[in-house]
Amino acid sequence: MNYEDFIRAKEFQHIESGFDASDMWLPEDIFPHQRDSVLWACKRGRSAMFLDTGLGKTICQLSWAHNVQEHTDKPVLLLAPLCVAHQTIREGEKFGISCDYMREPKFANSRIHVTNYEMLKNFNPENYAGIVIDESSILKGMDGKTRKLITEFASTIPYRLSCTATPSPNDFMELGTQAEFLGVMSQVEMLAMFFIHDGSDTSKWRLKGHGKKRFWEWVSTWAIVMSHPSDLGYDEDGYDLPPLIYNEHIVETDPTDDLFVTVAMGLQDRNKARKGSVDQRVQKASDIANSMDGPVIVWCNLNEESDKLTKSIIDAVEVKGSDKSEHKENSLMGFTDGTVRILVSKPSIAGFGMNWQHCNQMIFVGLSDSWEKYYQAIRRCWRFGQTKPVSVHIVSADTEGAVLCNIKRKDQQNEEMKKAMGETMRAWTLSEIRGLTVEKTEYTPTKTINMPSFL
């Protein structure tokens, strides 16, 4: 092998393990950006769709599953959070794609089987030609044993699709779990190739300075990342988001030294401040909710907050982690249908996957330090298809510090990182899904280099 061949071998290889999908198995009213995404994912065989909320992720994954099922004449398994699974069935009916919800294998009229993550242990991978994991970002929130179960279950299934809203651009561990599920590269290999361990007090992995561009080029070979259709040159008509209106409510607490309130400076202090102000925050949030007409979501962070809010808010229905699956399903789908007017829950329970554009009012009575959970909770209502301004009330204690300023700062950081990531990936993604030529800057050497004899 000469030196040129050695360097060429280091380039990323696009390994197609899929098939050419047919427009025959796509819904007639599918949008162009959705159609091209599905056709590319089928051609790729094992890929990810990171489509932001409201861009049609559900119809894309159902269309992909339909094509795999028709191509292989074998069923496809779709994993989703509990109530998102039922919402997926509704979307299938809407677009004429037959799918059935099941907790364990059974005879079904359809060839697309939808279940929730907790039921995976009841299924056999040998029975399926394809697997879809919806809201796949929750993989990083699962314990290692569960992630391993899902990854090993899918390892023998030829066609795989991972779907979630646009992942956080600086959450590289999430991208590692996705790549590992798809069989593209293990998380350990990804870290070794593109990252270096900080080694300082932060103990974080960061991209190697020279490897940033190459990393996003690599991601582009197996994932589509889209925040707006215009990101990849598609028509933006109908994809304008309404205003997001923040309302900050700071409740006063008793001073700790008879003169001043002590403001939290770290994570432990913030948690202590939140626990010490539950009654004041619940009272304020309840007053706001009881003054509202129409559907309202009340997000909390502590069990004590959830219990007291439900007792204080008229018409409130609580959904907590310890509830039976039937109660969770009925309550969340009841909120979707309008039979439940005010929903009280945590972002970790109801903050992923649900489409609630009918609601434009929400209250945060408690925030964790997870910006992603906050973002996902906001996007249940503030998403493409929402026609009204979305009003967000954030209730915090004076001891918590500048909560709203911190949220806006993280919002801005996320937008800046997504923009930078999108600009880096745009040309490579277009070349992948639409066959366009990637623009490259040609290198014109001006000096002759004498190669060492050992090369």
At 162, which helix (H) or strand (E)? strand 159-164
The domain spans of the chain are 10-238, 244-408
pLDDT digits (tens, 9 = 90+) for 143-196: 678 888 899 999 999 999 999 876 665 567 778 888 899 998 888 888 888 888
Q: Which two tokens stand for residue 45?
A: 């065989």
Q: Cα angle at 77 between 154 and 83, to 5 degrees?
A: 115
Q: Which two tokens stand for residue 67?
A: 């094509």
With 50 as the cut, is the pLDDT of residue 263 above it? yes
pLDDT at 266 (0 to 100): 58
Domains 10-238 and 244-408 share a fold: yes
Distance of CA 381 to the CA centre of its chain: 15
- Which pTM value belongs to this model? 0.79
CATH of domain 10-238: 3.40.50.10810
Contact 365, 299 (CB under 8 A): yes
Q: Is 358 exposed, middle or buried (0-12, 13-18, 19+ CB in 10 A)?
A: middle
pLDDT at 83 (0 to 100): 79
With 50 as the cut, is the pLDDT of residue 450 above it? yes
Q: Which two tokens stand for residue 319?
A: 């959904």
Pick the CATH number of 244-408 from 3.40.50.920, 3.40.50.300, 3.40.630.40, 3.90.600.10: 3.40.50.300
With 90 as the cut, is the pLDDT of residue 296 above it? yes
Q: DSSP secondary structure string, 440-454?
A: -------S--PPPTT
Contact 79, 133 (CB under 8 A): yes
**Which candidate, 155, 128, 156, places its Cα nearest to that of 72?**
128
Contact 281, 395 (CB under 8 A): yes
pLDDT digits (tens, 9 = 90+) for 12-25: 554 457 898 888 88
Neighbouring CB atoms inside 10 A of 146's CB total 15
Contact 403, 369 (CB under 8 A): no
pLDDT digits (tens, 9 = 90+) for 234-243: 888 778 889 9
